[in-house]
Amino acid sequence: MFNTILFPTDGSPLSDKAAATALAFAQLNKAKLVAISVVQPFPFSPMADGGVVLDAGLYEEQMREAAQHAVDKLGQAAQAAGLAFEGLVAISPSPYEEIVNAAANYHCDIILMASHGRKGLNKLFVGSETQKVLGHTQVPVLVLR
């Protein structure tokens, strides 16, 4: 029934925990697992007279490396489980749009994702990407805790 499964990951402990379930689900269905990790661009533009100027390029590079590490880690687990796997890292200010688009582009039958990856004020300001995915996709979504 499920031939291609999309698993968004942010490398958080909750996402890592959900990855084990996604791998088992893919094995059970003999499905291909597609993993996506979305890097959001640096959220603030540096101020010229500020005391500290952050390097947006360095931030994005480090976030891209962390995202790639999360995808590669899942790819290694999928390979060890004998699963077909494809991983991608995207850069976008809107992770849910990238997730919804990936589900369509890879013809995914289902999206398995953790209930949330962010906590505290960051979640309040950014909002739940899981909720946004639920509201914008026609593909079934299995939310994992």
pLDDT of residue 139: 97
Q: What is the pLDDT of residue 43?
A: 73
On whether the 11-41+55-144 domain is CATH 3.50.30.10, my answer is no
pLDDT digits (tens, 9 = 90+) for 80-135: 999 999 999 999 999 999 999 999 999 999 999 998 655 555 555 445 888 899 99
**Does an H or E element contain 46, and which?**
none
**For the chain, which residues make up each domain, given as ranges?**
11-41+55-144
Structure tokens at 92: 């976008």
3-state secondary structure of 32: strand
1 contacts 98 by C-beta, under 8 angstroms: no
Residue range 18-29, pLDDT digits in tens: 999 999 999 999
Interior/surface letters 6-36, b for 16+ CB within 10 angstroms, e for the rest: bbbbbbeebbbebbeebbebbeebebbbbbb
- Looking at residue 83, what is its pLDDT? 98
Check residue 132 and give its pLDDT: 93
